[in-house]
Chain A
Amino acid sequence: MAKNTLIGGSIWDEYSQKVQDRMNNPKFMGEITEEEAKEKGCKLIIADFGAESCGDAVRLYWAVDEKTDIIKDAKFRSFGCGTAIASSDTMAELCIGKTVDEAVKITNIDVEKAMRDNPETPAVPPQKMHCSVMAYDVIKAAAAQYKGIDPEHFEDEIIVCECARVSLGTIKEVIRLNDLKTVEEITQYTKAGAFCKSCIKPGGHEKREYYLVDILAETRAEMEREKLTAIANAKTSDLGADMSFEELNTIGQFKAVEQLMDTDIRPMLAMDGGNLDIIDIRKDDDGKIDIYIRYLGACSGCASGASGTLFAIEAVLKENLSQNIRVMPI
């Protein structure tokens, strides 16, 4: 919240002149008939996207030259707000003269930018950015029909932020690579959530399948799980290869010591009828790691427990885990 957001204004004030002109007088509104397409030596494509129940629906007509794949003419009909009408009109115009493969590359960002009065000022207010998205989707539907393939062929990624066209994969990757901890950081790195903001969290002006807050929480949880798995692996296998003994948490250190006791020390003590328990592991202020043990069986009360046996145990632990280890019998 800030001064400018405290008093809402008319969203129409934020429409560019180009948007307003196209809302009032769409140039490419209408239909292309089978006959008209034939006269141009073209194949007629009619594609639909959206539904009145969603608040937006668009029908796109293409006359495509099958020899060159070039879209010779394009028209639209649109049920939607003024932005949807203006976007559809711009989208139809942008298609003309392009090949089908080139047209598929037109994004909602291209449509919005084409409607700007100057390159720096958005053509529509943030919450209307998504109205140009429909243009992108109907082009894919038309191209899929022309090529006789499934429209999902063009959808290789899940788009989380429609306004900035940022995919789920990109967001997850950026969180991981940069160790991002807040949604604001995600927006800084990707622009996702910078426009209409409805992808940030539930409760915005439209419902979304994915929200940045959830993606952040899930990715951070995944990262945490992976860290713990790494610790667990380190403790049970080639300890020290990935992580030093000092970097492990107390439980990790305990398990690593316990494992080493089982493999290298307890068999040695058992030969004399003795054993030991690990009581505690504490980090000293001087950086030493004190491992408190209690001798059991024959080792309990054995004079060597404070000298030879103790030095032997300490040496094994120091060599395998850390030179900072001190063993403290109690």
Chain B
Amino acid sequence: MKRVYLDNNATTMVDPQAYELMLPYFCEKYGNPNSLHDFGSETHPALRKAMDQLYAGIGADDMDDIIVTSCATESNNWVLKGIYFDKIVTGEKDHIITTSVEHPAIGATCSFLESLGVRITKLDVNSEGLINPDDLRNAIDDKTALVSIMWANNETGAIFPIKELVQIAHERGVLFHTDGVQAVGKIKVDVKDAGVDFMSFSAHKFHGPKGIGGLFIKNSQKLTSLLHGGEHMGGRRSGTLNVPYIVAMGEALEIANKFIDFENIHVKRLRDKLEDALLEIPDVTVVGKREHRVPNTILASIKGVEGEAMLWDLNKAGIAASTGSACASETLESNPIMEAIGADKELAHTALRLSLSRFNTEEEIDYAIEHIKKATQRLRAISSTFAYAPQWHKSGL
């Protein structure tokens, strides 16, 4: 059976070149880089290169820190909890601003901090999935410690105007963190130009391995550590370095950035082709304008077709998609992003997320279009909420 992977916002295939590059660091050059012998020190050139690739890949300066973490979830937790220890528990500040469409790594951490007495403000988004910068301006007060707003949304692909939002926060002396996990490798990300104080990222979203990521900290700024222990990463994040994964992450980021133009031309063209085909089906809506989205993502609602039922049919055809956050696939609640953007409750249960990568082919997209149409036809024939409406009968779908 043909297999088509259209769930690249959940995770991606490791780039073969990055994979090849990391292999020697498992069985040949396996020394602990902190050890004072040749087994350890022979890993240093590769580590140095990978760190250079990461710094160059996001536009960081030598005075900045990029700390390798296990993933963006750890990085997000670190920033929020670090700020709590640095500025909130001391009584200096008491407030964090975020949005209602963040990944649970931000949302759930904020809820936890709220239980400790932190004031949390969640900015709402409009029907395009974007926030109004004025809402941020109005939400900041003298006790605001941090603004944390994602660079691009994992569900809708909506790109937030990070540079403008950073300026608003900085005008009031407030630190700015962005969860860059869905932006890095898909669009040009330059932390210096954007001015962010902190940025989280995960390698497995840009064709690196799972279980490795990073946190950018501007100008080596103070941030209480999440993991205390040895002197790894300058003592900022203890734990023996995962050399093979760091090597692969650096390489994957460099390759992804080389493919940014390809992403914005060829991947976007395939995405738009798929999206156009979906929109040919009556009563299908797509969230957000294409020009405001990362080039690989579609969040569609297919009237009358429950999201999980659609996934069942697509999976049978070998097609991987998502109804929303993969983390939420075992829950029965409707897609929270769909509700956050003010979509009708009816539509919230009909969300289908399709996310492409540079490894998808035209043939795969044609195959996906064929099977999404077939599944829509079958499930609408069963559906009790679709079958009654005469105009839908006429359409033949």
A87 to chain B, nearest CB (A): 13
> Given that A12-B315, A23-B312, A55-B349 are known contacts, is A78 also in contact with B330, CB under 8 Å in the complex?
no
Identify A55's interface contact among B312, B315, B334, CB under 8 A.
Answer: B334
The B contact surface, by secondary structure, is: loop
Which chain B residue has the least Cβ–Cβ distance from A9?
Answer: B330
A29 to B387, CA, bound (A): 12
Interface residue stretch chosen among B8-16, B194-202, B378-386? B378-386
Please determine whether A57 and B382 come into contact, CB atoms closer than 8 angstroms: no
Q: Which of A49-70 contact B (CB under 8 A)?
A: 51-59
Q: Which of A12-32 contact B (CB under 8 A)?
A: 12, 23-24, 26, 29, 31
Please determine whether B385 and A205 come into contact, CB atoms closer than 8 angstroms: no
A127 to chain B, nearest CB (A): 6
B331 contacts chain A at the CB level, 8 A cutoff:
yes
Please determine whether A48 and B384 come into contact, CB atoms closer than 8 angstroms: yes
Count of chain A residues near B, Cβ 8 A: 31
Which chain A residue has the least Cβ–Cβ distance from B329?
Answer: A11
Please determine whether A81 and B309 come into contact, CB atoms closer than 8 angstroms: yes
> Given that A52-B346, A82-B308 are known contacts, is A57 also in contact with B384, CB under 8 Å in the complex?
yes
A206 contacts chain B at the CB level, 8 A cutoff:
yes
Identify B312's interface contact among A12, A76, A78, CB under 8 A.
Answer: A12
Please determine whether B312 and A82 come into contact, CB atoms closer than 8 angstroms: yes
Count of chain B residues near A, Cβ 8 A: 26
A-B pair number, CB within 8 angstroms: 73
A287 contacts chain B at the CB level, 8 A cutoff:
no
B198 to chain A, nearest CB (A): 29
The A contact surface, by secondary structure, is: mixed
By a CB distance below 8 angstroms, the chain B residues around A82 are 308-309, 312
A24 to B309, CA, bound (A): 10
Identify B387's interface contact among A8, A77, A81, A205, CB under 8 A.
Answer: A77
A189 contacts chain B at the CB level, 8 A cutoff:
no
By a CB distance below 8 angstroms, the chain B residues around A53 are 344-346, 348-349
By a CB distance below 8 angstroms, the chain B residues around A154 are none
By a CB distance below 8 angstroms, the chain B residues around A57 are 384-385
B83 to chain A, nearest CB (A): 26
> Given that A12-B315, A127-B331 are known contacts, is A84 also in contact with B383, CB under 8 Å in the complex?
no
A53 to B383, CA, bound (A): 14
Please determine whether A84 and B332 come into contact, CB atoms closer than 8 angstroms: no
By a CB distance below 8 angstroms, the chain B residues around A81 are 306, 308-309, 312
A31 to B383, CA, bound (A): 11
By a CB distance below 8 angstroms, the chain B residues around A8 are 330
Which chain B residue has the least Cβ–Cβ distance from A31?
Answer: B387
Identify A79's interface contact among B306, B329, B344, CB under 8 A.
Answer: B306
Which chain A residue has the least Cβ–Cβ distance from B378?
Answer: A24
By a CB distance below 8 angstroms, the chain A residues around B309 are 23, 80-82, 84-85
Q: Which of B306-333 contact A (CB under 8 A)?
A: 306, 308-309, 312, 315-316, 329-333
Please determine whether A84 and B346 come into contact, CB atoms closer than 8 angstroms: no
By a CB distance below 8 angstroms, the chain B residues around A59 are 384
Please determine whether B382 and A29 come into contact, CB atoms closer than 8 angstroms: yes
A104 to B329, CA, bound (A): 33
By a CB distance below 8 angstroms, the chain B residues around A29 are 381-382
Which chain A residue has the least Cβ–Cβ distance from B315?
Answer: A12
A81 to B310, CA, bound (A): 8
A206 to B333, CA, bound (A): 6
Please determine whether A206 and B345 come into contact, CB atoms closer than 8 angstroms: no
A78 to B304, CA, bound (A): 9
By a CB distance below 8 angstroms, the chain A residues around B383 are 77-79
Identify A205's interface contact among B333, B348, B349, B386, CB under 8 A.
Answer: B333
By a CB distance below 8 angstroms, the chain A residues around B332 are 55, 127, 130, 205-206
Q: Mark A23-49, 1 if CB is under 8 A from B, else 0.
A: 110100101000000000000000010
By a CB distance below 8 angstroms, the chain B residues around A205 are 330-333
Which chain A residue has the least Cβ–Cβ distance from B345?
Answer: A53
Which chain B residue has the least Cβ–Cβ distance from A82?
Answer: B312
B237 to chain A, nearest CB (A): 24
A234 to chain B, nearest CB (A): 43
18 contacts between A and B (CB under 8 A): A11-B329, A26-B382, A29-B381, A51-B385, A52-B345, A52-B385, A54-B349, A56-B306, A57-B384, A57-B385, A77-B384, A77-B387, A79-B304, A79-B383, A81-B308, A85-B382, A205-B331, A206-B333
Given contacts A59-B384, A79-B384, A205-B331, 9 further A-B contacts (CB under 8 A): A8-B330, A52-B304, A52-B350, A53-B349, A58-B384, A77-B382, A81-B308, A84-B309, A85-B382
